[in-house]
């Protein structure tokens, strides 16, 4: 039993950890995780990892400068730098090739889940559980196989305090690098600061006890709107001796007495406890932020500032756009850059959201957020609150402290209104007003709040028919479709055979592990694919999972719904695409529900039964819950 845990030493925590953090983690491993610790670490297929990287592009972008700089530092010290997401799945690894090869032996590589639940006590998983920096040295790892490592993990937090991931520095267990935990912490803070800088706010207040530290990574940063705090970094939480929960959405005057008199040059303030702090107030987000640790990439000028978000070429790739859409793409970027709206039309699963994300990344709005709103998913009253925001107590069930609303969240970025054809009429009128006047009026609040964002919307409905039927306002339609793109269905692709082959290859656990037989490819290419890319990916993922090792996938391996009878694909006899698609969604939903039920709610076991990685299932459930 190579992975069997041994009893911890009497005092297993090393320098750098305190408060019995390692003992607590071992206790959780013994009591709560015992049945879930993986005998063999479970990695993601390449396609799944590709999807995950696309979802995590903001975090990856924000962490890129620190990853690069740390990698060049630790390379000499036979160490690696890792970035993991909030579930503990490693997204990227950089550093010493020699140690990366050793790390591979314990699956310390992208796509592998290092949550404490599955890999026992380790710096990534335990830092996520504890929400604090953690060093786990050699024998402190719960699983025996991992004891060849010494790991130092520091959590990365958003401006609202949520855990976004972990930055980790790992090396051989026999080596001691006392500085590594501090370095990981400093880098994680920088990543958090960069993410905060990408968010817009009316005002940005920087503060420090020592005025000489006001332009360093150690300064506190607060985002302020209408006198209320809407974002804060870890340093600000420390300086104000508070927590995100206490601070967010509260008037800043409760924490800093005289902040309103501040200017953009350093001045003195007092906290409510009477402590002196120095601060500077940058109105309308004018301040550009602390100097990043990394010099600007490839310019060779060490003094130049790195961009807040790395160059688009460094972003993990979204699925490539079909050739027919690439031609229109640069025109639609220009439309968005000019502040006009784009409407995307097409069947379910043709990639409307993917296209919108490409537009966001290529447009001048890419420094700001991409906020997706599914207009069908929420009841009318809730959409209204979610979109426009509300003040505390505006309606029964309203969150204490109120909500900024998604329209204000999208400020400075792209607002993606999915299934706009299903938006209730009452809301259409309010949305139109926002788009015309560029201000949002939160429910139960005083004054209007200015907003600036680009709008991309999408629907699978025949929107002109909706206008004729009176369910969609013509004036909103014209306001939303300054530019219109019809996304063709998958079956219309000229290069469908080649595309299917490439997609299948990308989903295999190892390159060239299997191939599609020519007849199988014929059948797949002849299928009408009513669920388009989404349906094709689901089918290919299953085929890749059960593909015979180094063999060919035959037509007999295709799911029954795809197999032909007398040369005709079964699906051709199905109802129209628009009617068939919801059935596919509900079938998937039913399969997920059944597996979750049979697994007694255990997501890992349900994911195994469904043949997908547990992170994929978690993401599916999160998306489903959001709808
Ligand atoms: N060009 C493409 N190549 C490969 N995969 C793609 C492509 N376009 C979309 N996909 C995949 O298809 C799935 C559905 O894409 P997306 O959500 O953008 O479709 P949609 O048109 O917005 O669907 P819906 O109308 O149901 O919301 C995603 O998993 C996405 O990764």
ipTM of the shown complex: 0.98
In angstroms, the first-to-last Cα distance of the chain is 44
Instruction: Determine contact, residues 48/306, Cβ cutoff 8 Å.
Output: no
Domain boundaries, the chain: 21-188, 200-283, 323-486, 490-573, 577-626
The domain defined by 490-573 folds into Helicase, Ruva Protein; domain 3 (1.10.8)
Q: Determine which residue's CA is closest to atom 2 belonging to ligand 1.
A: 319
How high is the pLDDT of residue 574? 32
pLDDT tens, position by position, 142-158: 999 899 999 999 999 98
Instruction: Determine contact, residues 527/563, Cβ cutoff 8 Å.
Output: no
Pocket test for ligand 1, best of 55, 319, 492 (most atoms within 8 A of CB): 319
Q: Is the pLDDT of residue 415 over 90?
A: yes
pLDDT tens, position by position, 107-131: 888 999 899 988 999 999 999 999 9
Chosen CATH of 200-283 out of 3.40.390, 3.30.450, 3.40.1130, 3.40.50: 3.30.450
Pocket test for ligand 1, best of 354, 462, 620 (most atoms within 8 A of CB): 354
Rg over CA atoms, the chain: 26
pLDDT tens, position by position, 459-505: 988 888 999 999 999 999 999 989 999 999 999 998 899 999 999 98
Highest mean pLDDT range out of 199-213, 305-319, 322-336? 322-336
Q: Six-digit token pair at 467?
A: 């206008």
The share of the chain scoring above pLDDT 70, in percent, equals 80
How high is the pLDDT of residue 379? 64
Pocket test for ligand 1, best of 489, 500, 533 (most atoms within 8 A of CB): 533
353 CA to centre of ligand 1 in angstroms: 6
Q: Six-digit token pair at 478?
A: 């014209």
Give the number of other CB atoms < 10 A from CB of residue 546.
10
248 CA to centre of ligand 1 in angstroms: 35
pLDDT tens, position by position, 194-221: 888 766 556 889 999 888 888 777 889 9
Q: Is the pLDDT of residue 422 over 80?
A: yes
Q: Is the pLDDT of residue 84 over 90?
A: yes
How high is the pLDDT of residue 292? 26
The domain defined by 21-188 folds into Beta-Lactamase (3.30.450)
574 CA to centre of ligand 1 in angstroms: 22
> For ligand 1, what atom is nearest to the CA of residue 585?
26
Distance CA 597, CA 463 (A): 39
Q: Is the pLDDT of residue 377 over 80?
A: no
Better-scored residue on pLDDT, 263 or 432: 432
Q: Determine which residue's CA is closest to atom 25 belonging to ligand 1.
A: 348
Q: Determine which residue's CA is closest to atom 24 belonging to ligand 1.
A: 348
CATH topology agreement for domains 21-188 and 200-283: yes
Pocket test for ligand 1, best of 57, 351, 529 (most atoms within 8 A of CB): 351
Distance CA 237, CA 17 (A): 21
HSE-CB for 521 with a 13 A CA cutoff: 16
Q: Is the pLDDT of residue 626 over 70?
A: no
Instruction: Determine contact, residues 144/122, Cβ cutoff 8 Å.
Output: no
243 CA to centre of ligand 1 in angstroms: 39
533 CA to centre of ligand 1 in angstroms: 6
How high is the pLDDT of residue 13? 42
Distance CA 567, CA 479 (A): 47
What is the mean pLDDT of the segment spanning 504-532? 88
How high is the pLDDT of residue 291? 27
Q: Determine which residue's CA is closest to atom 31 belonging to ligand 1.
A: 319
State the DSSP H helix or E strand holding residue 342, giving kind and residue range, or none if neither: strand 342-345
Phi-psi category of residue 347: left, alpha or beta, with phi > 0 → left and psi -120 to 50 → alpha: beta
537 CA to centre of ligand 1 in angstroms: 9
Least confident of 107-111, 259-263, 371-375, 394-398: 394-398
Better-scored residue on pLDDT, 75 or 348: 348
> For ligand 1, what atom is nearest to the CA of residue 459?
25
Better-scored residue on pLDDT, 77 or 532: 532
**Residue 523 CA: distances (Å) to CA of 17, 439, 570:** 58, 52, 11
Give the pLDDT band (50/70/90) at residue 393. Answer: low
How high is the pLDDT of residue 557? 87
Q: Determine which residue's CA is closest to atom 3 belonging to ligand 1.
A: 319
- 577-626 carries CATH number 1.10.3470: no
> For ligand 1, what atom is nearest to the CA of residue 346?
21
535 CA to centre of ligand 1 in angstroms: 9
Residue where the block lists tokens 């695409």: 577
Instruction: Determine contact, residues 458/353, Cβ cutoff 8 Å.
Output: yes
Residue where the block lists tokens 């995100």: 244
354 CA to centre of ligand 1 in angstroms: 6
553 CA to centre of ligand 1 in angstroms: 24
Q: What three-state secondary structure class fits 320?
A: coil
> For ligand 1, what atom is nearest to the CA of residue 357?
18
Q: What three-state secondary structure class fits 427?
A: helix
Q: Is the pLDDT of residue 341 over 70?
A: yes
Q: What three-state secondary structure class fits 497?
A: helix
Any idea which architecture 323-486 has in CATH? 3-Layer(aba) Sandwich (3.40)
How high is the pLDDT of residue 303? 23
Query: Which residues contact ligand 1 via a Cβ below 6 A?
Result: 319-322, 346, 348-354, 418, 458, 460, 533-534, 537
Q: Is the pLDDT of residue 287 over 80?
A: no
350 CA to centre of ligand 1 in angstroms: 5
How high is the pLDDT of residue 588? 67
> For ligand 1, what atom is nearest to the CA of residue 503?
4
Least confident of 112-116, 290-294, 391-395: 290-294
* Axis-axis angle for helices 518-526, 496-507 (nearest 10): 110
192 CA to centre of ligand 1 in angstroms: 30
Q: Is the pLDDT of residue 427 over 80?
A: yes
Q: Is the pLDDT of residue 372 over 80?
A: yes
Q: Determine which residue's CA is closest to atom 8 belonging to ligand 1.
A: 351
How high is the pLDDT of residue 296? 24
Q: Is the pLDDT of residue 1 over 80?
A: no
């Amino acid at each position: 039993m190579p992975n069997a845990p041994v009893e911890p030493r009497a005092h297993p925590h090393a320098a750098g950890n305190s408060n019995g953090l390692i003992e607590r983690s071992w206790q959780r491993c013994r009591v709560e995780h015992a049945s879930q610790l993986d005998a063999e670490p479970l990695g993601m297929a390449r396609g799944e990892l590709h999807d995950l990287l696309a979802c995590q592009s903001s975090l990856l972008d924000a962490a890129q400068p620190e990853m690069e700089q740390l990698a060049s530092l630790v390379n000499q010290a036979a160490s690696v730098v890792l970035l993991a997401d909030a579930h503990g799945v490693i997204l990227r690894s950089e550093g010493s090739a020699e140690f990366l090869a050793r790390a591979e032996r314990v699956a310390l590589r992208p796509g592998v889940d290092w949550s404490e639940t599955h890999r026992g006590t380790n710096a990534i998983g335990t830092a996520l559980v504890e929400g604090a920096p953690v060093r786990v040295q050699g024998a402190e790892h719960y699983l025996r196989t991992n004891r060849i490592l010494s790991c130092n993990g520091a959590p990365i937090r958003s401006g609202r305090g949520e855990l976004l991931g972990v930055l980790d520095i790992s090396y051989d267990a026999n080596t001691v690098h006392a500085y590594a935990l501090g370095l990981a912490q400093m880098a994680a803070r920088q990543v958090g600061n960069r993410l905060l800088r990408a968010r817009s706010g009316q005002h940005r207040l920087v503060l420090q006890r020592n005025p000489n530290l006001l332009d360093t990574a150690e300064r506190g940063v607060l985002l302020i709107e209408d006198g209320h705090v809407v974002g804060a970094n870890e340093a600000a939480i420390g300086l104000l001796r508070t927590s995100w929960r206490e601070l967010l959405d509260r008037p800043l005057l409760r924490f800093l007495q005289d902040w309103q008199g501040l200017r953009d040059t350093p001045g003195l303030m007092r906290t409510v406890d009477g402590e002196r702090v120095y601060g500077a107030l940058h109105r309308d987000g004018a301040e550009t932020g602390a100097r990043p640790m990394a010099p600007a990439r490839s310019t060779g000028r060490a003094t130049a500032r790195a961009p807040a978000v790395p160059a688009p070429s460094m972003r993990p790739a979204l699925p490539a756009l079909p050739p027919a859409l690439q031609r229109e793409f640069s025109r639609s970027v220009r439309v968005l850059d000019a502040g006009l709206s784009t409407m995307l039309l097409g069947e379910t699963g043709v990639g409307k959201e993917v296209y919108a994300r490409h537009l966001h990344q290529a447009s001048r709005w890419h420094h700001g957020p991409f906020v997706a709103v599914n207009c069908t998913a929420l009841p009318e009253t809730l959409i209204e609150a979610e979109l426009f925001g509300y003040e505390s107590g505006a309606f029964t069930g309203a969150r204490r402290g109120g909500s900024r609303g998604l329209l204000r969240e999208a400020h400075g970025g792209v607002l993606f209104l999915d299934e706009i054809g299903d938006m209730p009429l009452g809301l259409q009128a309010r949305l139109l007003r926002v788009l015309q006047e560029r201000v949002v009026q939160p429910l139960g609040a005083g004054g209007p709040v200015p907003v600036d964002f680009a709008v991309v919307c999408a629907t699978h409905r025949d929107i002109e028919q909706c206008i004729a039927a009176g369910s969609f306002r013509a004036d909103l339609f014209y306001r939303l479709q300054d530019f219109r793109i019809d996304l063709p269905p998958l079956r219309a692709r000229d290069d469908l055979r080649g595309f299917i082959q490439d997609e299948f290859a990308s989903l295999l656990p190892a390159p060239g592990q299997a191939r599609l037989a020519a007849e199988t490819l014929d059948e797949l290419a002849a299928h009408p694919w009513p669920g388009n890319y989404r349906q094709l990916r689901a089918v290919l993922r299953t085929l890749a999972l059960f593909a015979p090792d180094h063999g060919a996938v035959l037509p007999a391996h295709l799911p029954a719904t795809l197999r032909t009878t007398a040369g005709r694909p079964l699906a051709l006899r199905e109802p129209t695409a628009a009617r068939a698609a919801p059935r596919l969604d509900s079938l998937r939903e039913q399969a997920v529900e059944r597996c979750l039920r049979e697994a007694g709610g255990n997501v890992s076991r349900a994911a195994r039964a469904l043949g997908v990685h547990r992170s994929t299932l978690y993401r599916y459930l999160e998306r489903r819950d959001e709808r």
